[in-house]
Structure 1
Amino acid sequence: MTPTEYEYLRKFLRDHSGLDLSADKQYLIESRLLPLARKAGLSGIGELVQKLQGGSSALVTSVVEAMTTNETFFYRDKIPFDHLRETILPGLLQARAARRSLRIWSAASSTGQEPYSIAMCVKEMGAALTGWRVEIIATDLSQEVLEKAKAGIYSQFEVQRGLPIQHLMKYFTQVGELWQLNADIRAMVQFRQLNLLQDFSHLGTFDVIFCRNVLIYFDQDTKINIFNRLARQIEGDGFLVLGAAETVVGLTDTFRPIPDRRGLYKPNDPRAAATKPALAGAAPPRMAVLAGR
């Protein structure tokens, strides 16, 4: 791969996925795109670049998906889910008592472990949410990982990473050497393809947004842009959950950290989102909770 080809691919990935590669990541592109080029019957990355420059839409999707990191596991990092159980859901149960509904967004949901972990946390609330409508929207750039997420089928290795054994026994059914989430948990999550670089206002407003371990791959201007747009999609008293290595501090004043709650943020102007009307024509939640990356 020539320096010119590498610079083209760096810009291509930044424009199409937000991925901001440093100048020394040529080996990463080669390791992920060379197998893709060969699978497509191309001689190498040079010809792959020529096809991209020629406007091959199929290759655009394949290249972006090949370069996207989809590392995830159930209850990843534990602390955000402690916040969900101990701070977020109890607070919203009081704040939303009149309307008895919640909307939660898992952005960059990958193969589904995060939104399904959220769904299981909601399910564990039991009778406290009887009669409530809880809508969990999960989005990702990659259609390939979304298809896996929708199926809710995971290997022994995947269910061993972070998933408590009691939840495995309670919410999964063994199918040969694999494990499938039970239908009631899968029905709690709606999966949609979405690029965070593009407009997401059509999703409506949310009480909780999980946007974890994705912004670390973006440059500063892109992070700021996404934070500012997220602020317009969250209720004024809602919650933003970021990854352990992510922060709004020094980037935007649209959110403020919650003291003693690492990775948990509140919108700074509660009037901005609290007065927003509900999304017109929004699809109804796929389930009512009667007892969910």
Structure 2
Amino acid sequence: MGGTASESAYRVLMGVLESRTGQTLSPNRIWRIEMSLKPVMQRHGITDLDALVAALVTSNSRQLLDDTVDAMLNNETYFYREYSIFDDIAANALEHIHRVNLRERRLTIWHCGVSTGQEAYSMAMLLAEQDSKWAGWRVDIVGTDVSYHAIGRARVGLYSQFEIQRGLPVQRMVRWFDQTEAGWLAKADLRRRVDFSVQNMLTDRPPLAAPADLIFCRNLLLYFSLPMRQKAFARLRAVAAPQSFLILGAGETVLGQTDQFVASPRLRGLYEPADQQVRRSPIAPQVAA
């Protein structure tokens, strides 16, 4: 950091990020603030961080505030991240949900912190490949994120060559995306399967028509302080179906963080509501064909 004024600017920007999103900046992310905000400053004709902070304080520009917060967010994601998790979901979690919800014939999936949409589209592709299983069901896949820029990209469904190859098998790429001059565009049939919206999970209720049977909240809570994390877990539990699954990132856990969820005794990497654990309704073993 530079002198006192710059240190003050960093503190203000970190405060803006936390107040708007609940996220805090770890020391290894602080140094990236100026680099991340350079495009925003260029776009708005601002010379440096101190001038940016001054503009945020004195200006009524909602666009400047949105752009500033958006640039400080980490939107890292890719298709089928940790492929084994999707295999477990397909083979076990969805099988259980199918039995539990057979009478209602409804499946609700929420991707919280969905970023640019790859994870939600991965789930949509997986379910489309099980179309016969879900025939006659209402299937809702909802993706939310605090970043309006990320949600805008998710809705369009346009990905670069690097993004499309990152985690996406070639056969799915060809089946679900069209190559264009601008990049790889998700086909309309895939885009219509997911609803994306800008939401702050700490303050907004997700636009779900029913309690969520699967909740993806991966590598988002890492950026929250413990009090914010506890609040986030409570909000996740408030919209989770009694017998549902929560999917966190590989480096995340509920231990010491919340009493709302517990680790699934059968599905590694998945969690269940603590008050209505899925283990009370055993998951049937898969029988080899």
TM-score normalised to structure 1 length? 0.87
Q: 1:35-83 deviations in whole A, cap 9, x for unaligned?
A: 3223211121101111212253222101111011111111011132112
Query: Residues 22 and 210 of structure 1: is their aligned pair in 2 closer, same or farther, counting only changes over 3 Å?
Result: closer
- In structure 1, what is the equivalent of residue 239 of structure 2? 233
Q: Percent identity?
A: 39
Shift of 1:157: 1.5
Of residues 194, 197, 202, the one that matches 2:199 is: 194
**Does 50-59 or 152-161 show the bigger shift?**
50-59
* Counterpart code for 2:110: W
- In structure 1, what is the equivalent of residue 282 of structure 2? none
Question: Equivalences for 1:160-179 in 2 at 5 Å?
Answer: 160-176=165-181, 178-179=183-184
Shift of 1:260: 5.0
Question: Equivalences for 1:88-107 in 2 at 5 Å?
Answer: 88-107=93-112
- In structure 2, what is the equivalent of residue 275 of structure 1? none
* Counterpart code for 1:28: R
Shift of 1:202: 5.5
Question: Equivalences for 1:1-293 in 2 at 5 Å?
Answer: 2-23=6-27, 25-54=29-58, 55-176=60-181, 178-200=183-205, 203=208, 205-270=211-276
SS of aligned partner of 2:68:
helix
* Counterpart code for 2:50: G
* Counterpart code for 1:142: S
Shift of 1:159: 1.3
TM-score normalised to structure 2 length? 0.88
Separation of aligned partners in 1, 2:91 and 2:28: 42
2:202–2:235 Cα contact (<8 Å) kept? no
* Counterpart code for 1:266: E
SS of aligned partner of 1:245:
coil
Structure 1: 5+ residue runs without aligned partners? 272-293
SS of aligned partner of 2:168:
coil
Query: Residues 229 and 71 of structure 1: is their aligned pair in 2 closer, same or farther, counting only changes over 3 Å?
Result: same
| Structure 1 residue ranges (4+ consecutive) displaced by more than 3 angstroms after TM superposition | 22-26, 201-204
Structure 2: 5+ residue runs without aligned partners? 278-289
* Counterpart code for 2:102: A
1:105–1:138 Cα contact (<8 Å) kept? yes
1:19–1:217 Cα contact (<8 Å) kept? yes
